[in-house]
């Protein structure tokens, strides 16, 4: 990760992440453990798009899915008890929801290329809803 990518990552961590994290925690009904592999997310020469692409690829689909799942008390309770960790990474360069997103033992992982299919937010959210509701 070069200097430009480190600057863009730091800016995201300081200016964007706190609000996203607060929304995730609120929807989860408690502080949600968050593991982010910044080195994998920070693709070279894409620093100017981190704020938009990371939000759309990793955070907005989870927020949208949690809003749907927690729309009633049953969903809220299921998420509080069943979702313990959110992992965001790009270890394989996956770019479709079914190959990039998994939910195992309370751990929701999005292992997605941060610069591919950025605008497919609804597809990722729908897939998260499907696999999380099935597992809970």
Q: pTM of the prediction?
A: 0.95
Query: Looking at the predicted structure, is the pLDDT value of residue 60 above 90?
Result: yes
Domain hosting residue 22, numbered range: 3-135
Here the tokens at position 114 are: 């941060």
Please give the Cα distance from 65 to 63 (Å, whole number). Answer: 5
The predicted-structure confidence for 20-57, as pLDDT tens digits, reads as follows: 999 999 999 999 999 999 999 998 888 889 999 999 99
The predicted-structure confidence for 69-118, as pLDDT tens digits, reads as follows: 999 999 999 999 999 999 999 999 999 999 999 999 999 999 999 999 99
**DSSP code string of 39-58:** HHH--TT-GGGHHHHHIIII
- Number of domains observed in the structure of the chain: 1
What kind and span of H or E run contains 115? none
Helix 121-135 vs helix 60-69: angle between axes, to the nearest 10 degrees? 40
């Amino acid at each position: 990760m070069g200097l430009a990518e480190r600057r863009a990552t730091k800016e995201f961590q300081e200016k964007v992440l706190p609000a996203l994290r607060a929304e995730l925690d609120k929807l989860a009904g408690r502080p949600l453990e968050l593991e982010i592999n910044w080195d994998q997310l920070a693709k070279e020469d894409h620093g100017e798009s981190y704020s938009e692409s990371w939000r759309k690829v990793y955070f907005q689909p989870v927020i949208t899915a949690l809003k749907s799942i927690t729309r009633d008390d049953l969903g809220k309770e299921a998420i509080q008890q069943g979702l313990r960790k959110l992992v965001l990474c790009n270890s394989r360069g996956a770019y479709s929801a079914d190959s990039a997103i998994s939910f195992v033992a309370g751990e929701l992982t999005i292992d997605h290329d941060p610069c591919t299919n950025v605008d497919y937010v609804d597809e990722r959210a729908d897939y998260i809803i499907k696999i999380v509701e099935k597992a809970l």
